[in-house]
Structure 1
Amino acid sequence: MTLPVALAGCDVIGQAKTGTGKTLGFGLPLLEAVTVPADVEAGRARPDQLTDAPQALVVVPTRELCQQVTNDLLTAGKVRNVRVLSIYGGRAYEPQVEALARGVDVVVGTPGRLLDLAGQRKLDLSEVRCLVLDEADEMLDLGFLPDVERIMERLPAKRQTMLFSATMPGQVIGLARRYMSQPTHISATEPDDEGATVANITQHVFRAHSLDKPEMVARMLQADGRGLVMVFCRTKRTAADVAEQLGRRGFAAAAVHGDLGQGAREQALRAFRNGKVDVLVCTDVAARGIDVDGVTHVINYQTPEDEKTYLHRIGRTGRAGATGIAVTLVDWDDIPRWQLINKALGLAFPDPPETYSTSPHLFEALRIPEGTRGTLPRAERTRAGLEAEEVEDLGGSDGRRRGAGPRESRPQPQRQPRTPRQRRRTRGGSAPAEGAEAVAVVDAGESTRGAAQVSAEGAAPAASEEQASTPRTPRRRRRRTRGEQAGAAGSGAGAEG
């Protein structure tokens, strides 16, 4: 539905359920809009129309979505050899700046790094003739809207603008009215697909206790026909903890959340796509646009914040016509939140059944074999695991875990021992008497030589300036008790008597 309108150069607002192909809906018109040397060779363009500055810009909210859109555009533009570059934070600046200097046709980036490079005049936006805002509602939720507006102010006034999202809040519509020219609003739905969710996703909702959730998830991961699984958590700490617990139970699990460095996040996603890891525990940073073949189950370990997040989470399965299963575990405290989501989406789960890891209806609904326990049998532990995927050194600013392993394994800097300050005692402000012993104290820089005790043979005036300036070791005084002082006073009085 989008292609005829977008190829004609009109502004488009595209709205469709997640997993229905929005990336190529804007990607193909965008690739057709750029001029490359293949067009000059075919006679479709003049040589003076070629430029090394970006001719198209795609703005996305997350780094993971940036990578995926870049890979899709590279695949679609391979025949015409379209140069596509991804720009996002967590990576070193230098490779991105060098790639821009060599020339690029399409830039896909996150708002922060795009603004940064544009402010340094490393990114020239004056030649952009096509702008795409992907997942615009997520950029609004993450607070990127001011950055997006500053980027749009740097672009030429005469351009094509396309805005795509699965949901369309009022502020996104306001953005479209300000920066788009007579846009065509296209909402794509299947005729027999009523509701907000995709029809080929089977949804299950259970009321579960937080202490029993790890055992429940471990048993769900042994269901019949289970492929790759994504487990969504609300907080970064919970995601890391669940991934660690599943690892101890024998599952090949990896975590993706905002506290990880970019290298570790990309390592986990690569391992998941390559099949070395079959359980990806993540926060909502991976709920947008991530498209991995073979995801059969999505488990909401914690109730999502709202109905939009729920739609994007379960949309990681059942993509491109495939079927999928979505399971949501609702705490007792989250029942009111879930009922709001249920009402907003028109679902049929207002009062989820109370469920435990031993409940028969859990085994029956998810086709879990009878007798399954919460630990994966050793014979079924066939995945290579996260350690089999190498960590790429990205040279970024947040490489606190870039190939260095856990923080405890890093070598700690050795502190030099502090040399105590030596005081020189004198009698009445004068130099030591003739024949007295002087001690040469070596400073911290010469501590390897040790301290040598030197006897002063000559008179004090005959000593060298270095010896004269050398401090003496202070004499230690012994503090006497009151009994000793009284005894000393008595003996002194007896002597006088």
Structure 2
Amino acid sequence: ENGFNHKNSEKRPRLDVDEESIAQGSSEDQSSASASVSVSIPAPSKSITIDESELPDNPEEIDPALLVENFELDGRIKQKLLAKGFKALFPIQAAVFEPISQGKDVLARARTGTGKTLAFSLPIANKLMQKDCSRIRGRSPRTVIMAPTRELAKQVSLEFESISSNLSVDCFYGGVSIDAQFGSLKRGLDILVGTPGRILDHLERGSLSLKDVEFLCLDEADQMLDIGFKDDMETVLKTLKDHRPSSAFQILLFSATVPDWVANIVKQFMTDHVKVDLIGKSKLKTSELIEHLAVMCSWAAHHDVVADLLSVYGLRGRAIIFAETKAEVTNLISHPKMKTEAMPLHGDITQAVREQTLKMFRDGSIQYLVCTDVAARGLDIPEVDLVINSEPPKEVETYIHRSGRTGRAGRNGVCITCFSPQKSFWPNMIRRSTGIECKLVSPPQIEDIATASGSSAASIVAECDPSLISLFVKPAIELANDKFDGNVTNALASALACLAGYSSGLKRRSLLSGSDKHTTLVMLIKQPARSGGFARSVLQKNYTDLLFEDTNNFRLSVDGCQIVFDINSEKLQIKSPGKLEESQRNGSSFRGNFGGRSFGNRGRDNGYGNNRNGGGGGSRNWNNRGNGYSRNSASGGSGGNFRSNGNRFSRGNRNNSSGNFNQNQTHSANHSTNHQKW
């Protein structure tokens, strides 16, 4: 993008593109991409389409038309909704209520986390409760709901139980004894929720009959293929069609996306259906309340970075960390910096333990879950504030469903994805595929971690029982006098650091790779350079003790006058932190696809904007084992400054005077944790 190819970038001509033209080009590109991507769904001749434009735009303002009291709901259901705090329905719930109540088949497409479960459970329960609900023993279910995972099936079952009073509801899935399910069927059911595999198992055994089914609902139908339930689901549909005339039952299909095979299901099994699409032509399929962030870090450092992201972003709310494999879940859980409140969740964990873990997560007994995609479709907990992907998921749809675990029920959420330099294409790929703009942020630095964990530790101290304070006054005074020369503030700060779990210290890490063995610097030069390699040649000519492998990740700015790179932290001593001038925080773009101060490799797809407010600088000593070159001192001759607030780098005269290379104003890895672009 922007005229660059990260491969063979050194051979391509340098392009200087101003930020305004880049912004205009990005806007046009996104518009064009959005117009070129569409999903074609075979529609019956009498299909009805309800467009999102007909629904309220501002979710914070309750449209009178959405108030619960304005819907023809059974009084018992209204009472239960109001008791749960529901004053109004969500747009998807209001849009499908009338078509389902009128007996139409419905294909509903809405963003993840917008209330799809209640959207179909409300009208179904309402119609069933208005009819004769005889409690005949052994009666066949009148409603069958299929969900891709056992967790989601249980969630749907609980939703039905919470709004209905005289309906018998049960949930069937694998991994548990089938005998209890036989007993439930013998007693009689009104609503059966389950996974396609277990429902098909009962059909083949003859223990389940579909002869009385009035509603067949497929929840999250687009995931049936990924999980391997596609064939089972189609078999159940064909069995129902063979046993019941089409006019006797309704098919309801709810999904965030509509892949081709789901479109074929619509064409084959649904007639005269209503299509409710709250996404329309927009590529964005996740809640607009979710902030999407991306962090580039090396694979070797990503466990450490994930733990720090949890410390910085997940202090006060629930968080879910997704891993690709069960082994990765184990590695994350066992990481020394991982919070003790985190619990694992994956396929090898027994059903009883999984259910107990989810129960503890819901009631707040545990704050963090580390899991595989087994839970991506099963958690409907509005209070999840943070989702972290330890690496980019393989499929775009998987990212949508993972990120959809947060930003639910009108709450804001954050989704952070770690990606390696080898996958630097990933943020742009997500933007092109979904319209989601992932803001690039740097890995948490020691200032971020100290501030966040210190605040958390301080809140714990503040909650101490006042009656206990007097018991600890004497050792507190002794500690302050003996170890901190009577400085009570330093003593308390040390206590907070220990309480936060960082008594052994914190390591500064690279802004480019996340490595805690490197520090990121920026070199300012007077004349434009052709490549980032210019900085390496300058360093090698002037500092003989600096090895080739001590520097890497060179990035050249658009104007060619700034080079960002990583240096071995053992060869660098930071004397004191510095600050960037405000004008420098929002200064020129580095080559890449992202705006202000985007670090790029002559057009390479990865970049860092002015996220996290820059920061840095400070006087630094680069120890050269006693025979370095003094670059800023009077005795060292005319030296050059590596810095990030305006002084240019000049080659100067090489001088063999002993001493340290003093970088008075070099840009370091300090930054705050807001999300403006680097």
Q: Quickly name the TM-score band, shorter chain normalised.
A: 0.5 to 0.7
Match of 1:143 in 2: 228
Residue 336 of structure 1 and its aligned partner are, at CA, apart by 3.5
Residue 325 of structure 1 and its aligned partner are, at CA, apart by 1.2
- Inter-CA distance 338–264: structure 2 relative to 1 (3 Å threshold): farther
Distance 1:218 1:164 in 2: 35
Distance 1:46 1:62 in 2: 29
In the alignment, is residue 297 of structure 1 matched against residue 386 of structure 2? yes
In the alignment, is residue 89 of structure 1 matched against residue 174 of structure 2? yes
Residue 172 of structure 1 and its aligned partner are, at CA, apart by 0.3
Match of 2:327 in 1: 237
Distance 1:153 1:117 in 2: 15
Residue 341 of structure 1 and its aligned partner are, at CA, apart by 2.1
Match of 1:277 in 2: 366
Distance 1:190 1:340 in 2: 21
Match of 2:255 in 1: 165
Structure 2 residue aligned with 1:183, among 273, 293, 296?
Answer: 273
- Inter-CA distance 234–377: structure 2 relative to 1 (3 Å threshold): farther
Question: Structure 2: which amino acid aligns with 1:334?
Answer: K
Distance 2:419 2:142 in 1: 47
Residue 148 of structure 1 and its aligned partner are, at CA, apart by 0.8
Q: Deviations over 1:7-46 (max 9, x none)?
A: 11100000000111101111112213336xxx5xxxx549
Structure 1 range deviating more: 194-203 or 326-335: 194-203
Q: Deviations over 1:256-302 (max 9, x none)?
A: 11122212221221121121211101111211252113211111111
Q: Deviations over 1:70-100 (max 9, x none)?
A: 001110113xx21111000011011111011
Distance 1:105 1:148 in 2: 20
- Inter-CA distance 284–21: structure 2 relative to 1 (3 Å threshold): same
Residue 304 of structure 1 and its aligned partner are, at CA, apart by 1.2
Listed as ranges, the matches of 1:50-449 within 5 Å are 52-78=139-165, 81-155=166-240, 156-158=244-246, 159-189=249-279, 195-223=284-312, 226-245=316-335, 249-349=338-438, 352=440, 355-358=442-445, 368=452, 379=499
Match of 2:105 in 1: 11
Q: Deviations over 1:420-476 (max 9, x none)?
A: xxxxxxxxxxxxxxxxxxxxxxxxxxxxxxxxxxxxxxxxxxxxxxxxxxxxxxxxx
Question: Structure 1: which amino acid aligns with 2:124?
Answer: L
Structure 1 residue aligned with 2:123, among 29, 52, 56?
Answer: 29
Q: Which has the higher contact order (CA 8 A, sep 6+)?
A: 1
Distance 1:297 1:21 in 2: 19
Distance 1:356 1:317 in 2: 21
Residue 189 of structure 1 and its aligned partner are, at CA, apart by 4.7
- Inter-CA distance 172–46: structure 2 relative to 1 (3 Å threshold): closer
Distance 1:5 1:171 in 2: 24
Residue 338 of structure 1 and its aligned partner are, at CA, apart by 4.5
Distance 1:121 1:134 in 2: 24
Question: Structure 2: which amino acid aligns with 1:169?
Answer: P
TM-score, structure 2 as length reference: 0.50
Residue 305 of structure 1 and its aligned partner are, at CA, apart by 1.6
- Inter-CA distance 7–329: structure 2 relative to 1 (3 Å threshold): same
- Inter-CA distance 89–51: structure 2 relative to 1 (3 Å threshold): closer
Corresponding residue pairs, total: 363
Is the Cα–Cα contact under 8 Å of residues 126 and 154 in structure 1 kept in the other structure? no
Distance 1:170 1:275 in 2: 39
Distance 2:173 2:136 in 1: 28
- Secondary structure, aligned partner of 1:4: helix
Unpaired runs of 5+ in structure 2? Answer: 1-94, 458-495, 502-678
Q: Deviations over 1:338-384 (max 9, x none)?
A: 4322321223349x46x444376x769xx8457999xx978579xxx
The structure with the largest alpha-carbon Rg is 1
- Secondary structure, aligned partner of 1:122: coil
Is the Cα–Cα contact under 8 Å of residues 140 and 172 in structure 1 kept in the other structure? no
Residue 255 of structure 1 and its aligned partner are, at CA, apart by 1.2
- Secondary structure, aligned partner of 1:327: strand
Distance 1:14 1:307 in 2: 20
- Inter-CA distance 249–160: structure 2 relative to 1 (3 Å threshold): closer
Distance 1:7 1:96 in 2: 30
Is the Cα–Cα contact under 8 Å of residues 108 and 276 in structure 2 kept in the other structure? yes
- Secondary structure, aligned partner of 1:340: helix
Distance 1:231 1:57 in 2: 32
Residue 143 of structure 1 and its aligned partner are, at CA, apart by 2.4
Is the Cα–Cα contact under 8 Å of residues 27 and 73 in structure 1 kept in the other structure? yes
Distance 2:284 2:203 in 1: 42
Residue 242 of structure 1 and its aligned partner are, at CA, apart by 1.1
Question: Structure 2: which amino acid aligns with 1:242?
Answer: L
Is the Cα–Cα contact under 8 Å of residues 453 and 500 in structure 2 kept in the other structure? no
Distance 1:359 1:379 in 2: 16
Question: Structure 2: which amino acid aligns with 1:66?
Answer: A
Is the Cα–Cα contact under 8 Å of residues 454 and 500 in structure 2 kept in the other structure? no
Distance 1:49 1:262 in 2: 32
Residue 47 of structure 1 and its aligned partner are, at CA, apart by 6.1
- Inter-CA distance 115–377: structure 2 relative to 1 (3 Å threshold): farther
Distance 1:356 1:201 in 2: 20
Distance 1:5 1:332 in 2: 49
Distance 1:67 1:378 in 2: 42
Distance 1:348 1:293 in 2: 23
Distance 2:360 2:135 in 1: 44
Is the Cα–Cα contact under 8 Å of residues 287 and 407 in structure 2 kept in the other structure? yes
Distance 2:266 2:99 in 1: 17
- Inter-CA distance 190–290: structure 2 relative to 1 (3 Å threshold): farther
Is the Cα–Cα contact under 8 Å of residues 226 and 297 in structure 1 kept in the other structure? no
Is the Cα–Cα contact under 8 Å of residues 250 and 377 in structure 1 kept in the other structure? no
Distance 1:212 1:107 in 2: 46
- Secondary structure, aligned partner of 1:222: helix
Question: Structure 1: which amino acid aligns with 2:437?
Answer: A
Is the Cα–Cα contact under 8 Å of residues 283 and 434 in structure 2 kept in the other structure? no
Question: Structure 2: which amino acid aligns with 1:108?
Answer: V
Is the Cα–Cα contact under 8 Å of residues 212 and 356 in structure 1 kept in the other structure? no
- Secondary structure, aligned partner of 1:212: helix
Is the Cα–Cα contact under 8 Å of residues 293 and 417 in structure 2 kept in the other structure? yes
Distance 2:228 2:198 in 1: 15
